[in-house]
Amino acid sequence: MSPRPSGPLAQVKALTFDVFGTVVDFRSSIIAEGRRLSALHGDAPVDWPAFADQWRAEYRPAMDRVTAGSETWINVDNIYRRALDMLIEKFGIDWLSEEELAEFNLIWHRLEPWGDSVLGLERLRKRFILATLSNGNVRLLVDLARHAKLPWDMVLSSELVRAYKPDRRMYQSAVDYLSLEPQEIMMVAAHQYDLRAAAELGFRTAFVMRPLEHGPEFQVDLTIDDDFDVVANDMVDLARQLGL
Amino acid sequence: MSPRPSGPLAQVKALTFDVFGTVVDFRSSIIAEGRRLSALHGDAPVDWPAFADQWRAEYRPAMDRVTAGSETWINVDNIYRRALDMLIEKFGIDWLSEEELAEFNLIWHRLEPWGDSVLGLERLRKRFILATLSNGNVRLLVDLARHAKLPWDMVLSSELVRAYKPDRRMYQSAVDYLSLEPQEIMMVAAHQYDLRAAAELGFRTAFVMRPLEHGPEFQVDLTIDDDFDVVANDMVDLARQLGL
């Protein structure tokens, strides 16, 4: 346990978290579920790691189309379902029933946390208000919190503002709903673009490194921006650096 | 523990709760805080029970003006502060500093739960998604949950929709954000008007009787509507009746 921070960080009252990749390990969870489905269907051979990567990759362009205004609002559950329908064709998966597909799409509601997440969040919650600030829809984030035992005080979601990060309205919603000044909120994320967008509004920033987010072979961008207030190896390290 | 309910109640997946009066006992909390302030200021004599009742009474007409459109959006923190400024004049309280008044207004963020609330909610959470559906603003509800250890999965608030119960948009927001059908949600409240408005959208309803909400001398309306799905003495009784 480090001393409680002084200086600008002493003002922080709430932490807002990116969830996918930062708090939960979507890739391993999807691969495990895919393998379970394969096993149920006579060990159907599918490259599940590639499937997981491509499923996740469909997410950003769909959200960007919403942000650019070329597509009306669509929530993440529906973005993933549309991508799933495309991917089962591409991977030649014709052995899943509609019921199984609907259930498979809900794997995003049952992702496993990184090993340090729950302990780190429990420690951080002793002093800070903890909120998601995620592009996931509300029900997805609620189910995920119940499944992975994530102790959120508030679920802030793109669905509440109908905009996706890094749209400024997302960060503004945290300021408004938490009734705090931007410098009283610290954005916690494994992705630089998310932290930079938060910093533009005046948030404090914590970069949590997740080198395995896209698997052991993918080179994650771990470039540390000098402007980040905290750089942490994981959530327990973040708690330690904040004196908890 | 009763058997798990069958029939229409078996469909229920989430419970949405009124908070002020139903989950927390605002009257006793305000009286206690008022008496603490009096003691700090030479035992200044104030009729704190009357003060508490009148403070709470200012809440409904202010919200009704928002609903009627004769006043633009104002959140509950500000409704209470405006009422506080009026009441300190009326009760001749000229011995509180601006800092103390600001802090006193935040008593609504630190109300005590009824004795059965936390145990009942913990039991209910084993099977149901628990959400507030309250006219309180988000930060107030978050602070209250942290203070009183209320295990909400989601904080649904008037502030998210800029409308106050019994405005239909409030109940609709629970349907939308929880991604459920109305009959999969049970509204839990100590107030008939709230349950009737929820039932109009198709919610199930649980009437939790709080005869002491307005103090021992006030006759609370405990009329049971035949259409209520459950009538409970408290939250532990509600859990029991739902098989938990």
The number of C-beta contacts closer than 8 angstroms across A and B is: 44
**Residue B2, pLDDT score:** 66
Percentage of chain B beyond pLDDT 90 is: 85
Residue B26's pLDDT band, with cuts at 50, 70 and 90, is very high
What are the structure tokens assigned to A38, written together?
């394969």
Q: What is the mean pLDDT of chain B?
A: 95
Residue B204's pLDDT band, with cuts at 50, 70 and 90, is very high
Closest CA to A175 of A153, A196, A194, A156: A156
Q: What is the mean pLDDT of residues A106-125?
A: 98
Residue B143 to residues A177, A234, B165, B195, Cα–Cα distance (Å): 12, 27, 21, 25
Nearest CA in chain A to B136: A177
**Residue B176, pLDDT score:** 97
**Residue A100, pLDDT above cutoff 80:** yes
**Residue A2, pLDDT above cutoff 70:** no
Burial class (CB in 10 A: 0-12, 13-18, 19+), A106: middle
**Residue A53, pLDDT score:** 94
Q: Which of A5-19, A153-167, B10-24, B177-191 has the lowest mean pLDDT?
A: A5-19
Percentage of chain A beyond pLDDT 70 is: 99
| Residue B51 backbone phi and psi in degrees, to 5 | -60, -45
Report CB contact under 8 Å: A138, B77. no
Q: Which residues of B207-225 are buried (b: 16+ CB within 10 A; e: fewer)?
A: bbbbeebbeeeeeeeeeee
Reduced to 3 states, what is the DSSP secondary structure of residue A186? strand
Q: What is the mean pLDDT of residues A21-38?
A: 96
Q: What is the mean pLDDT of residues A76-99?
A: 95
Best to test chain B binding among A138, A162, A176 (most B CBs inside 10 Å): A138
Percentage of chain B beyond pLDDT 70 is: 99
How far apart (Å, rounded) are the C-alpha atoms in residues A244 and A235? 11
How far apart (Å, rounded) are the C-alpha atoms in residues A38 and B205? 43
What are the structure tokens assigned to B241, written together?
């009746």
**Residue A217, pLDDT score:** 87
Q: What is the mean pLDDT of chain A?
A: 95
> pLDDT tens across A144-181, in order?
999 999 999 999 999 999 999 999 999 999 999 999 99
**Residue B6, pLDDT score:** 79
Looking at the complex, does the CB of residue A35 fall below 8 Å from at least one CB of chain B?
A: no
Residue B44 to residues B26, B34, B84, B90, B108, Cα–Cα distance (Å): 22, 10, 17, 15, 22
Angle between helices A48-57 and A59-68 (to 10 degrees): 10
CATH topology of domain B7-25+111-241: Rossmann fold (3.40.50)
Looking at the complex, does the CB of residue B193 fall below 8 Å from at least one CB of chain A?
A: no
Q: What is the mean pLDDT of residues B72-76?
A: 90
**Residue A72, pLDDT score:** 87
What dotted CATH number matches A7-25+112-241? 3.40.50.1000
Contact assessment for residue A31 and residue A52, using Cβ atoms and an 8 Å cutoff? yes
Judging contacts by C-beta atoms under 8 Å, the chain A residues touching residue B179 are: 77, 137-139
**Residue B1, pLDDT above cutoff 70:** no
Looking at the complex, does the CB of residue A9 fall below 8 Å from at least one CB of chain B?
A: no
Cα distance from B138 to chain A (closest Cα, Å)?
A: 6
Contact assessment for residue A184 and residue A12, using Cβ atoms and an 8 Å cutoff? yes
What are the structure tokens assigned to B123, written together?
């039991």
Bridge partner residues of A188 (DSSP): A17, A206
Q: Where are the domains of chain A?
A: 7-25+112-241, 27-109
> pLDDT tens across B109-149, in order?
999 999 999 999 999 999 999 999 999 999 999 999 999 99
Among partner residues B77, B159, B177, which is closest to A177 by beta-carbon distance? Answer: B159
**Residue A80, pLDDT above cutoff 60:** yes
| Residue B224 backbone phi and psi in degrees, to 5 | -95, 120
Residue A1's pLDDT band, with cuts at 50, 70 and 90, is low
* Residue recorded with tokens 């997302």: A170
How far apart (Å, rounded) are the C-alpha atoms in residues B176 and B131? 13
**Residue B159, pLDDT above cutoff 80:** yes
Among partner residues B77, B160, B180, which is closest to A160 by beta-carbon distance? Answer: B160
How far apart (Å, rounded) are the C-alpha atoms in residues B128 and B16? 10
Amino acid at A233: N
User: In sequence order, what are the residues at sequence separation of 6 or more whose Cβ sits closer than 8 angstroms to the Cβ of residue A234?
Assistant: A114, A116, A117, A120, A208, A209
Looking at the complex, does the CB of residue B36 fall below 8 Å from at least one CB of chain A?
A: no
Reduced to 3 states, what is the DSSP secondary structure of residue A202? coil
Among partner residues B137, B139, B177, which is closest to A159 by beta-carbon distance? Answer: B177
CA atoms within 13 A on the CB side of B214: 14
Q: What is the mean pLDDT of residues B35-40?
A: 96
Q: What is the mean pLDDT of residues A82-98?
A: 96
**Residue A93, pLDDT score:** 96
Interface ipTM: 0.94
**Residue A70, pLDDT score:** 86
| Residue A113 backbone phi and psi in degrees, to 5 | -75, 155
Closest CA to B168 of B202, B216, B122, B132: B202
Percentage of chain A beyond pLDDT 90 is: 86
> pLDDT tens across A204-225, in order?
999 999 999 999 888 899 998 8
| Architecture of the domain delimited by B27-109 | Orthogonal Bundle (1.10)
Amino acid at B9: L
Judging contacts by C-beta atoms under 8 Å, the chain B residues touching residue A137 are: 179
**Residue B244, pLDDT score:** 95
Burial class (CB in 10 A: 0-12, 13-18, 19+), A72: exposed
What are the structure tokens assigned to B215, written together?
């103090």
